Amino acid sequence: MQHRHLLSNEIDLLLDGEVGFGVAPLRAHADDCAECRARLDEALVVADALERLPHFAPRTGFADRVLSQVQIVQPWHVAALDTARRFIPESRPLRAVAIVGAGAASLAVSASAVWIAFSADLSFQSAAFVTSRGRDALVTWAGRAVEAALGGAAVDAVRSNGPMAMVAGVVALVAAVGVAAFGFRALAANSRQRGN
Ligand SMILES: [Zn+2]
- Give start and end residues of each alpha helix (H) in the chain: 8-15, 23-32, 34-52, 62-68, 76-87, 92-119, 132-150, 152-156, 163-194
Greater pLDDT, 98 or 191: 98
Q: Comparing 70-74, 83-87, 140-144, 184-188, which segment has the lowest mean pLDDT? A: 184-188
How many structural domains does the chain have? 2
Calculate how far, in angstroms, residue 47's C-alpha sits from the geometric centre of ligand 1: 20
106 in the same domain as 37? no
In a domain, 80, yes or no: no
pLDDT tens digit sequence for 87-143? 777 778 888 888 888 889 989 988 888 888 777 665 545 555 556 677 677 777 777
pLDDT tens digit sequence for 143-184? 777 677 666 554 555 555 566 666 676 777 777 777 777 777
pTM for this model (two decimals):
0.31
Calculate how far, in angstroms, residue 53's C-alpha sits from the geometric centre of ligand 1: 30
Calculate how far, in angstroms, residue 44's C-alpha sits from the geometric centre of ligand 1: 16
Calculate how far, in angstroms, residue 1's C-alpha sits from the geometric centre of ligand 1: 10
- Owning domain of residue 104: 89-194
